[in-house]
Amino acid sequence: MIEIKGLCKSFEDKTVLKDIDAYFENGKTNLIIGQSGSGKTVLIKCIVGLLTPEKGEVLYDGRNLIQMGKKEKNQLRREMGMIFQSAALFDSMSVFENVMFPLNMFSNDTLRERARRAMFCLDRVNLSEAKDKYPGEISGGMQKRVAIARAIALNPQYLFCDEPNSGLDPKTSLIIDDLIHDITREYNMTTIINTHDMNSVMGIGEKVIYIYEGHKEWEGTKNDIFTSTNERLNNFIFASDLLQKVKEVEVQSLEG
């Protein structure tokens, strides 16, 4: 579990995060949502240690990231997996070599063991047959699956996903969502997803935190969203006529 307490972050005279408290559970997909500029990207950067808050705590199963020394932070980072918005694969490396990269950097296993682990991860995301291809030779959805395989190569306890569905069509986005959800459950990871995708919220939002102008405006599950009376959340989630109709149908179902 990851817990944040009283987190505050500013840049010069602009306060971006205002006294945020939240916890993210093991074995669940925890989503952070909010409008552009709301502070959610800064929040996730503080959680992974890319930014240092002026105030507050970031606890990884009770271990305070902010108080850690360099050695402890390096050890903790080996327990993290990252899926970047652009997939961030190395173009000059094959799919297999991309997944091998963190293993070569951080694992003390033999080459044979590392190769076996890389192939296991590729098989887990149904890409073993593409192992010799290069990122430029595969689709955007396949690139995201390679990024997932690379992120889980070191068997992390914590998985961070920055807009994992960015640039993907709706069908492929559902595949990526289901894959992240299934892997989270399978390995009992603490998964935090920063997203704008309302399909992801409705599909895998086991816990959802809504950030508004730097503070936590609302939290709950995807089902709680349909009965929420928070006006800002409703305006954000149900901005389109289609989603408004979905809400009306769901509320009628719950009342029935």
Q: For the residues of 6-36, what is the DSSP string, one character each?
A: EEEEEETTEEEEEEEEEEE-TTEEEEEE--T
Confirm if 211 and 40 have CB atoms less than 8 A apart: yes
Mean pLDDT of 15-37: 93
Average pLDDT of the chain, as a whole number: 90
Q: pLDDT for 91-146, tens place per residue? A: 999 999 999 999 999 889 999 999 999 999 999 999 999 999 999 999 999 999 99
Rounded-to-integer distance, Cα 80 and Cα 236, Å: 30
Torsion 14-2-172-238 (CA) sign: negative
Query: In the CATH scheme, what is the homologous superfamily, with its name and number, of domain 2-79+156-255?
Result: P-loop containing nucleotide triphosphate hydrolases (3.40.50.300)
Among the ranges given (12-21, 32-41, 139-148, 243-252), the one the predictor scored with the smallest mean pLDDT? 243-252
**Between 226 and 23, residue with greater pLDDT:** 23
What is the mean pLDDT of the segment spanning 245-252? Answer: 60
In the chain, where are the structural domains located?
2-79+156-255, 94-155
Predicted pLDDT of residue 252: 61
Predicted confidence at residue 249, as pLDDT, reads 58
First to last CA, the chain: 36
Structure tokens at 255: 């009342």
pLDDT value of position 245: 62
β-bridge mates for residue 80, sequence order:
158
List, in order, residues 6 or more apart from 103 with CB less than 8 Å away: 109, 114, 117, 118, 153, 154
In terms of pLDDT, which residue wins out, 52 or 248?
52
Residues 6 or more apart whose Cβ sits within 8 Å of residue 140:
87, 167, 168, 172
Q: Are 96 and 146 in contact (CB under 8 A)?
A: no
**β-bridge partners, 208:** 31, 220
Region 172-190 average pLDDT: 93
Yes or no: say if 38 and 214 are a contact pair by the CB < 8 Å rule.
Answer: yes
Write out the two tokens for 86.
């652009």
Q: How far is CA 195 from CA 44, 60, 85, 219, in A?
A: 11, 22, 10, 15
Query: Is the separation of the CB atoms in 63 and 40 below 8 Å?
Result: no
Task: Reply yes or no on whether the pLDDT at 241 is more than 80.
Answer: no
Q: What is residue 216's DSSP assignment?
A: E
What are the CA-CA distances from residue 206 to residues 14, 96, 184, 189, 223 (Å)? 32, 32, 11, 13, 9
The β-bridge relationship of strands 14-24 and 207-212 is: unpaired
At position 240, the amino acid (one-letter code) is S
